[in-house]
């Protein structure tokens, strides 16, 4: 592409998308094709003789449950702490965000956070009990629940501890987008509005909170304000069209859109309606933050506005200077994303990225902006704003609010350093 045809919207080579819509621009030189003609010396040769083997033979028959292409074996979840002994505590599996596109996470690549391992629950023996400050306690079998009207929502789940390395490490932590940001995923969840079941039990006058408990070995549980459960909570059975994976809470989980992942209780089997929080181990322990003013911040439910450039991102290599599409993901637990700005010059100048629709509240939003890399070292950053006007803080600002060793709720601007040899690295600016 001739540089004269591109209009720049900010420093460092950020291009106005509209200037690329002019027909016939070659972004990247494709290798030229030699004319296909049988030479006299080779004798008579049919065009098909040069076809690869898969174009000359019958393919496989197929299987009863599809798998990714055998050429996509590099696409894998990754353990957050590979050296930790099995079942020694929470196991974190990270989603390879930089190898995916669009906004939906394939079920097999949904991140996982398992405090007590992954149970294999027999759905015929699993029941949901609602009791406490209610008029009539109810117990639901799976079969009964699946007869209720269902709703569908595309929503992200993000672990409160996502991007913990950036919060903790004094020096730039080397890592890929998966290593640093992989505790977030986004799916279409289908299930029953929790309010339907709670209202059926008849809520008592003093009902204010609900202790929600999972059926896994350690009974992961949290106290949840009743108002959230009556607002947009879902008892989910389906994830991107299929029943939940065991990793995601089979046979059912609670989904609390926009709130820290640990409140979306998997394997949910008990809702106890109460008048005050129970201060369960997970209410009071790891899911509270130490603030720099000496206060403890608990029940910090909302996941704040955040974004990350997934390409180019940590550990990737830009092979040559020239055209690239900068793309990434933005989200906010408060609602919709309204703006993502990108800088390609260390944060000196910023330009608005294109937001790819549909822009859904409390879901991932894909953004992109075309870029011409001139081969010089620079820093790429993205900064999201949500519909409530909340904007991502810088890292220094974030660190001023929280005291060490707090690492939950890190949502500061991510910066990726591009070196002149094309290597991309996590960096703190
Ligand atoms: N029963 C149960 N629910 C749970 C957990 C758990 O260990 N057990 N982990 C929580 C945490 S910390 C997070 S971040 C989310 C992760 O959901 P996922 O594993 O489906 O990604 O589930 C939450 N719900
Ligand atoms: Mo989590």
Distance CA 204, CA 270 (A): 17
3-state SS, residue 39: coil
Write the DSSP string, 292-325.
TTS-EE----BPPPEEEEEES-TT-B--SSEEEE
State in Å: Cα 280 to ligand 1 middle. 15
Report the predicted TM-score, pTM, of the whole model to 2 decimal places.
0.94
Range name among 78-92, 128-142, 205-219, 234-248 with the lowest pLDDT average:
78-92
Ligand 1 pocket mutation, candidates 262, 280, 407, 408, criterion most atoms within 8 A of CB? 262
Tens digit of each residue's pLDDT (9 = 90 or more) over 272-327: 999 999 998 888 888 889 999 999 999 999 999 999 999 999 999 999 999 999 99
* Cα-based distances in Å from 131 to 40, 190, 206, 310: 86, 24, 13, 44
Q: 407: which DSSP letter? A: -
Tens digit of each residue's pLDDT (9 = 90 or more) over 396-427: 999 999 998 899 999 999 999 999 999 999 99
Predicted local distance difference test score (pLDDT) of residue 88: 72
Count of CB atoms within 10 A of residue 78's CB? 15
| Residue 153 CB less than 6 A away from ligand 1 | no
- Do the strands 378-386 and 365-373 form a parallel or antiparallel pair, or are they unpaired? unpaired
**What is the overall mean pLDDT for the chain?**
93
| Residue 265 CB less than 6 A away from ligand 1 | yes
State in Å: Cα 261 to ligand 1 middle. 6
> Which residues are CB-contacts of 5 (< 8 A; sequence separation ≥ 6)?
19, 22, 25
| Residue 31 clears pLDDT 70, i.e. is over it | no
Burial class (CB in 10 A: 0-12, 13-18, 19+), 335: middle
Using alpha carbons only, what angle is made at residue 425 by residues 423 and 426, rounded to the nearest 5 degrees? 170
State in Å: Cα 257 to ligand 1 middle. 13
Ligand 1 pocket mutation, candidates 79, 187, 264, 288, criterion most atoms within 8 A of CB? 264
Predicted local distance difference test score (pLDDT) of residue 170: 85
Tens digit of each residue's pLDDT (9 = 90 or more) over 117-159: 999 999 999 999 999 999 999 999 999 999 999 999 999 999 9
Write the DSSP string, 43-56.
-S--GGGGS-GGGT
State in Å: Cα 429 to ligand 2 middle. 27
Q: Ligand 1 atom 16: the closest Cα is on which residue?
A: 113
Atom of ligand 1 nearest to the CA of 112: 19
Distance CA 271, CA 248 (A): 19
């Amino acid at each position: 592409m001739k540089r004269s045809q591109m209009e720049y919207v900010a420093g460092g080579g950020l291009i106005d998308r509209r200037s690329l819509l002019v027909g016939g621009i070659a972004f990247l030189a494709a290798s030229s094709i030699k004319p296909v003609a049988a030479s006299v010396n080779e004798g008579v040769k049919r065009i098909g003789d040069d076809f690869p083997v898969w174009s000359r033979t019958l393919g496989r028959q197929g299987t009863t449950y599809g798998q990714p292409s055998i050429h996509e074996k590099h696409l894998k979840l990754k353990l957050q702490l590979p050296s930790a002994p099995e079942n020694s505590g929470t196991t974190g599996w990270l989603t390879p965000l930089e190898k995916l596109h669009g906004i939906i996470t394939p079920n097999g690549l949904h991140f996982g956070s398992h405090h007590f391992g992954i149970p294999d629950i027999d759905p015929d023996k699993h029941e949901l009990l609602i009791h406490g400050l209610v008029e009539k306690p109810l117990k639901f079998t799976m079969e009964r629940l699946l007869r209720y009207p269902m709703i569908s929502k595309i929503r992200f789940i993000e672990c409160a501890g996502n991007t913990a390395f950036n919060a903790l490490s004094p020096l730039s932590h080397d890592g890929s987008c998966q290593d640093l940001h992989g505790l977030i995923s986004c799916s279409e969840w289908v299930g029953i509005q929790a309010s339907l079941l709670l209202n059926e039990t008849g809520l008592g006058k003093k009902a204010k909170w609900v202790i929600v408990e999972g059926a896994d070995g350690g009974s992961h549980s949290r106290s949840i304000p009743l108002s959230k459960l009556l607002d947009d909570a879902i008892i989910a059975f389906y994830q991107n069209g299929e029943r939940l994976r065991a990793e995601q809470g089979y046979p059912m989980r609670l989904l609390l859109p926009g709130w820290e992942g640990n409140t979306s209780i998997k394997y949910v089997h008990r809702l106890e309606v109460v008048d005050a929080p129970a201060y369960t181990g997970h209410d009071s322990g790891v899911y509270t933050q130490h603030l720099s003013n000496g206060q403890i911040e608990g029940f910090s439910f909302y996941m704040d506005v955040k974004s990350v450039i997934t390409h180019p991102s940590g550990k990737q290599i830009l092979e040559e200077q020239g055209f690239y599409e900068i793309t990434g993901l933005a989200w906010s637990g408060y609602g919709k994303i309204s703006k993502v700005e990108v800088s390609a010059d260390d944060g000196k100048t910023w330009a608005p990225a294109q937001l790819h629709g549909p822009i859904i509240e409390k879901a991932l939003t894909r953004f992109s902006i075309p870029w011409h890399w001139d081969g010089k070292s620079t820093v790429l950053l993205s900064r999201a704003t949500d519909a409530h006007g909340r904007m991502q803080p810088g890292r220094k600002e974030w660190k001023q609010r929280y005291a060490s060793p707090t690492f939950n709720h890190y949502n500061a601007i991510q910066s990726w350093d591009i070196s002149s040899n094309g290597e991309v690295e996590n960096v703190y600016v």
